[in-house]
């Protein structure tokens, strides 16, 4: 698609603002088209739908009650709770919770209708952001119309819609918005610390597997780029680039330190290895693997088969587009065409595509188990989140005319033909994907059913990898009362329990014990809990919590008479250290930004 754009337009002028507003509008409408099946037919109850709904319910409730940074989720483990929000990155559950709070406060909107809309609005936001960041990346190497096609291809690529419709992995879906920024940071002509740091921080605050993949992709491309600069420009400039990349990566980790430090340190307190058992093992998820003949194995293999065909499709599209882009560049060089954009780094993209293809096969098994944190990705096909922007960028390079293109950030005009072509791409990919990937909702999985369960006294299932190391999920039974007195700390709960009895432990308890006994709390022990006991006629004193129980519930020795017990979730040293690191990094970034602004102002005033 050939196009002529006005050369020399100021990037921040009125035409630029109008054109970029039009890009925002077009991409937002494309995202709306991609979520219209959800609007028409209702939510798809995919693999992670229940997990995210409960997280949003829980976070919204705590935020509404003034706890703006939750760590503990009270509803899981049949109301015994788990430290879910310590380990699951905050951006996705904050977004879901805040959307829920906002929609439930709309006039004449029921709670069920509001929460039914949250997954739809969440998906629309994630796809819109993904389109905008892909647009930004593609504009560095292609004209405006072609960049719009690349954005549409990225938003509607099969893996994106597989994540949105079948997996409903909302954290990974939101992380797709930051992945193009990693490529924008390392593939551009000039590497800067903020361009590296910001996407790394956003990835770690959104989804851990995406963050691991993004960091390794950045490191892989950085090593190749530095080697090429070393050969072309000498060791001094190459070393300077390496230092900037390293400084950006460290800065990004520090910005996200308030999440990373507690999650890394407190991982020793939970059964994190449970995330890599059974069907979530790396060796069970290479392309087209077969794991067994049980019902669970057959269901696993069906999902793996779908993911494998998506991988084959994206790899084929990437190879074809990179080949076409390479031919285009060679023809342009032979014809001495004037390329106003920087050349597409085809060599880097080919190397990354080949590496991903290798990692999807059993030949790479040793790497998965020896490279730090790689095994926690669980599914090698998650690397398609990295391949997707590569494929979209390659498509932009193949479709770009290569001539008569304005500088990437100049004012642009999006043609109606390009908008129609982007819509055609979205339609061609969206409609089949909906029919292939949509997951029907069982009666117990609907938003109304999950909301009713959340408001009941029943609680929800525990999450294996967030279960404290002192607890056994098989020993924990649903229906335990909030607390009960026993002669022994490992006694079982009462057999007959009223269905209306609260199961969640209050944070302030007054207990009347006829003799010295043990108070069992339906609350799982965790190092962040602080318990204070005020015996009859004495002053309050902190007590050491004993956990002799297989189910991991807290047992407290109480004297005879009336005692008051206070329970608090406190901020531990690792959480304070993480907060401090993030504040220092944020202050440093603010100082650098202010300094850069002053320099720009002084330059503008200079004669």
Quick check: 529 and 554 in contact, CB under 8 A? yes
Distance CA 143, CA 4 (A): 9
Percentage of the chain surpassing pLDDT 90?
Answer: 72
| pLDDT at 428 exceeding the cut of 90 | yes
- Buried b / exposed e over 374-399, threshold 16 CB at 10 Å, is bbbbbbbbbbbbbbbbbbbbbbbbbb
| pLDDT at 405 exceeding the cut of 70 | no
What pLDDT is attached to residue 67? Answer: 94
- Please, which pLDDT band fits residue 602 given cuts at 50, 70 and 90? low
Q: What are the residues facing 486 on neighbouring strands?
A: 518
What pLDDT is attached to residue 538? Answer: 75
In this prediction, residues 100-110 reach a mean pLDDT of 96
Judging by beta carbons within 10 Å of its beta carbon (0-12, 13-18, 19+), is residue 30 exposed, middle or buried? buried
φ, ψ of residue 272 to 5 degrees: the values are -60, -30
Least confident interval from 111-125, 252-266, 454-468: 454-468
Least confident interval from 273-277, 327-331, 553-557: 327-331
- Please, which pLDDT band fits residue 548 given cuts at 50, 70 and 90? confident
**Of the candidates 48, 6, 42, the residue with the CA atom closest to the CA atom of residue 118:** 42
What pLDDT is attached to residue 1? Answer: 39
Q: What are the residues facing 270 on neighbouring strands?
A: 468
| pLDDT at 338 exceeding the cut of 70 | no
| pLDDT at 203 exceeding the cut of 90 | yes
Give 140-193 pLDDT, tens digit per residue: 999 999 999 999 999 999 999 999 999 999 999 999 999 999 999 999 888 999
Least confident interval from 25-29, 56-60, 288-292, 495-499: 495-499
- Please, which pLDDT band fits residue 11 given cuts at 50, 70 and 90? very low
Distance CA 407, CA 404 (A): 10
- Please, which pLDDT band fits residue 606 given cuts at 50, 70 and 90? low
| pLDDT at 257 exceeding the cut of 90 | yes
Quick check: 173 and 123 in contact, CB under 8 A? yes
Distance CA 530, CA 518 (A): 17
Distance CA 158, CA 155 (A): 9
Listed in sequence order, the DSSP H helices in 71-143 are 84-87, 90-104, 111-139
Integer-rounded Cα radius of gyration of the chain: 27
| pLDDT at 593 exceeding the cut of 80 | no
Mean pLDDT of the chain: 89
Distance CA 417, CA 57 (A): 43
Give 58-88 pLDDT, tens digit per residue: 999 999 999 999 999 999 999 999 999 999 9
Q: What share of the chain is helix, strand, coil (3-state, %, to 5)?
A: 60, 10, 30
What pLDDT is attached to residue 7? Answer: 40
Q: Three-state SS for 76? A: coil
- Please, which pLDDT band fits residue 278 given cuts at 50, 70 and 90? confident
Give 494-541 pLDDT, tens digit per residue: 765 555 566 788 899 889 888 999 999 999 999 999 999 988 777 778
The set of long-range contacts for 578-587, using a CB threshold of 8 Å and a minimum separation of 24, is 578/257, 578/258, 578/259, 578/260, 578/261, 578/262, 579/257, 579/258, 580/257, 581/254, 581/257, 581/258, 581/261, 582/254, 582/255, 582/256, 582/257, 582/258, 584/254, 585/251, 585/254, 585/255, 585/257, 586/255
| pLDDT at 372 exceeding the cut of 90 | yes
What pLDDT is attached to residue 254? Answer: 97
| pLDDT at 20 exceeding the cut of 90 | no
| pLDDT at 2 exceeding the cut of 60 | no
| pLDDT at 601 exceeding the cut of 80 | no
Considering only residues 250 and 481, tell me which one the structure prediction assigns the higher pLDDT: 250
Give 410-424 pLDDT, tens digit per residue: 546 788 999 999 999
In this prediction, residues 216-225 reach a mean pLDDT of 96
In this prediction, residues 213-222 reach a mean pLDDT of 97
């Amino acid at each position: 698609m050939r196009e002529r754009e006005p050369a020399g337009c100021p990037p921040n002028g009125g035409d630029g603002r109008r054109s970029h507003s039009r890009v925002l509008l077009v991409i937002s409408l494309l995202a709306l088209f991609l979520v219209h099946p959800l609007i028409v037919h209702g939510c798809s109850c995919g693999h992670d739908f229940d997990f995210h709904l409960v997280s949003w319910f829980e976070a919204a409730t705590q935020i509404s009650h003034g706890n703006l940074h939750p760590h503990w989720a009270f509803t899981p483990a049949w109301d015994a709770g788990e430290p879910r929000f310590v380990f699951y990155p905050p951006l996705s559950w904050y977004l879901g919770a805040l959307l829920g709070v906002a929609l439930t406060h709309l006039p004449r909107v029921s709670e069920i209708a509001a929460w039914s809309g949250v997954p739809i609005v969440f998906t629309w936001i994630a796809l819109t952001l993904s389109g905008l960041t892909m647009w930004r990346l593609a504009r560095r190497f292609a004209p405006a119309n072609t960049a719009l096609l690349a954005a549409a291809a990225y938003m509607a690529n099969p893996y994106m819609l597989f994540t949105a419709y079948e997996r409903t992995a909302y954290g990974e879906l939101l992380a797709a918005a930051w992945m193009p920024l990693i490529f924008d940071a390392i593939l551009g002509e000039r590497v800067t610390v903020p361009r590296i740091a910001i996407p790394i921080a956003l990835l770690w605050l959104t989804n851990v597997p995406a963050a691991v993949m993004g960091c390794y992709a950045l490191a892989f491309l950085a090593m190749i780029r530095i080697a090429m600069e070393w050969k072309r420009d000498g060791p001094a400039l190459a070393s300077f680039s390496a230092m900037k990349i390293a400084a950006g990566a460290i800065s990004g980790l520090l910005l996200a330190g308030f999440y990373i430090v507690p999650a890394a340190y407190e991982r020793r307190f939970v059964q994190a290895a449970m995330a890599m058992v059974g069907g979530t093992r790396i060796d069970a998820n290479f392309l087209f693997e077969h794991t067994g003949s049980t019902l669970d194995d057959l269901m696993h293999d069906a999902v793996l088969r779908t993911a494998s065909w998506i991988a084959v499709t994206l790899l084929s599209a990437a190879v074809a587009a990179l080949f076409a882009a390479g031919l285009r560049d060679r023809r342009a060089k032979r014809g001495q065409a004037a390329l106003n954009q920087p050349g597409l780094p085809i060599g880097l993209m080919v190397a990354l595509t080949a590496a991903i293809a290798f990692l999807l096969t059993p030949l790479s098994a040793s790497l998965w188990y020896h490279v730090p944190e790689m095994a926690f990705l669980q599914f090698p096909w998650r690397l398609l989140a990295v391949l997707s922007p590569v494929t979209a960028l390659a498509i932009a390079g193949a479709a770009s005319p290569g001539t008569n293109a304005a500088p990437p950030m100049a004012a642009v005009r999006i043609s109606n033909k390009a908008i129609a072509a982007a819509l055609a791409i979205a339609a061609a990919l969206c409609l089949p994907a909906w029919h292939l990937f949509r997951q029907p909702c069982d009666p117990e999985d609907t938003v109304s059913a999950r909301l009713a369960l959340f408001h009941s006294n029943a609680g929800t299932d525990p999450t294996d990898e967030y279960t404290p190391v002192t607890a056994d999920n098989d020993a924990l039974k649903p229906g335990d009362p909030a607390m009960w007195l026993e002669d022994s700390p490992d006694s079982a709960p009462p057999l007959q329990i009223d269905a209306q009895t609260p199961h969640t432990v209050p944070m302030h308890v007054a207990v009347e014990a006829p003799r010295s006994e043990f108070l069992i709390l339906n609350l799982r022990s965790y190092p962040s809990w602080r318990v204070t006991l005020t015996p009859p006629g004495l002053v309050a004193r902190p007590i050491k919590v004993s956990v002799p129980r297989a189910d991991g519930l807290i047992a407290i020795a109480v004297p005879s008479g009336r005692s008051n017990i206070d329970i608090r979730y406190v901020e531990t040293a690792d959480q304070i250290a993480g907060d401090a690191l993030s504040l220092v990094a944020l202050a440093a970034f603010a100082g650098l930004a202010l300094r850069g602004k002053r320099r720009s102002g002084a330059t503008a005033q200079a004669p």
